[in-house]
Chains A and B, each alone.
Chain A
Amino acid sequence: MASQDEQQQQQDPRIPKISSAIRVIPNFPKPGIMFQDITTLLLDTKAFSDTIDLFVERYKGQNISVVAGIEARGFIIGPPIALAIGAKFVPMRKPNKLPGEVISEEYSLEYGKDKMEMHVGAVQAGERALIIDDLVATGGTLSAAIRLLERVGVHIVECACVIELSGLKGREWLGDTPLFVLVNSA
Chain B
Amino acid sequence: MFAAENGLKGDPRLQAISDAIRVVPHFPKPGIMFQDITTLLLDHKAFKDTVDIFVDRYRDMDISVVAGVEARGFMFGPSIALAIGAKFVPLRKPRKLPGEVIAEAYDLEYGSDCLEMHVGAVQPGERVIVIDDLVATGGTLSAAIRLLERVGAQVVECACVIGLREVKT
Contacts and interface: CB of A to CB of B under 8 A. Distances in A.
B34 interface: yes
Interface stretch (A88-96, A108-116, A140-148, A161-169): A88-96
A76 interface: yes
Given A52-B82, A122-B42, A39 B24 contact: no
B42 A90 contact: yes
Interface in B109-157: 118, 121
Interface stretch (A10-18, A23-31, A151-159, A170-178): A23-31
Nearest to B22: A100
A91 B74 CA distance: 11
Interface of A: 23, 25, 28-29, 35, 37, 39, 42-45, 48-49, 52, 71-73, 75-77, 79-80, 82-83, 86-91, 93, 96-100, 119, 122
Interface of B: 22, 24, 27-28, 34, 36, 38, 41-44, 47-48, 51, 68, 70-72, 74-79, 81-82, 85-90, 92, 95-99, 118, 121
B71 A75 contact: yes
Contact of A23 (B41, B43, B70, B99): B99
A36 to B, nearest CB: 9
